[in-house]
């Protein structure tokens, strides 16, 4: 599990959003792996549709199943019209990943961001959550 993994995730939205089905590549560096638990860093390679900065991941393996939480340092909110706002001093909402190992040694599965209600820059924002699919393979 230790090492560098390259992957991509894709939005799966029912609404007609500019970023629906858009793929975002990412690089994961697993720096610690003990028993079934691991931690590391993650960087989205597309800042227009992904999230800026070097984030962290923390997860667990259970047989062929994987679960981890991705936490990015900059909160961003994307709207259906393609506009995006960022909050430099606030972490992005956690992204929950789950998946399975396939016969080629790659992982794939689903991801989600839970919905919520809040105020940002004097705007009332209702989020219904976001979801999609993902995959990653070890490159070194």
Tell me which DSSP letter residue 14 carries.
S
Q: pTM for the complete prediction?
A: 0.86
User: Residue 9 has what pLDDT?
Assistant: 95
User: Residue 121 has what pLDDT?
Assistant: 60
- Using 50 as the pLDDT threshold, list the residues of the chain that sit under it: none
Tell me which DSSP letter residue 82 carries.
S
Show the tokens assigned to 31: 């720096």
User: Residue 84 has what pLDDT?
Assistant: 76
Count helices and strands in the chain by DSSP H and E runs: 0, 12
Place of tokens 């989600």: 112
Q: How far apart (Å, rounded) are the C-alpha atoms in residues 66 and 59? A: 7
Structural domains present in the chain: 3-138 (2.40.128.120)
User: Residue 127 has what pLDDT?
Assistant: 64
């Amino acid at each position: 599990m230790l090492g560098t993994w390259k992957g991509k995730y894709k939005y799966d939205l029912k609404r007609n959003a500019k970023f629906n089905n858009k793929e975002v590549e990412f690089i994961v560096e697993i720096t610690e792996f003990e028993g079934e638990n691991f931690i590391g860093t993650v960087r989205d390679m597309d800042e227009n549709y992904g999230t800026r900065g070097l984030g962290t991941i923390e997860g667990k393996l259970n047989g062929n199943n994987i679960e981890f939480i991705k936490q990015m340092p900059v909160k961003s909110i994307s709207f259906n019209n393609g506009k995006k706002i960022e909050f430099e001093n606030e972490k992005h909402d956690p992204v929950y990943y789950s998946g399975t190992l396939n016969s080629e040694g790659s992982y794939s599965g689903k991801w989600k961001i839970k919905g919520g209600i809040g105020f940002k820059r004097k705007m009332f924002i209702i989020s219904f959550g976001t979801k999609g699919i993902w995959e990653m393979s070890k490159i070194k």
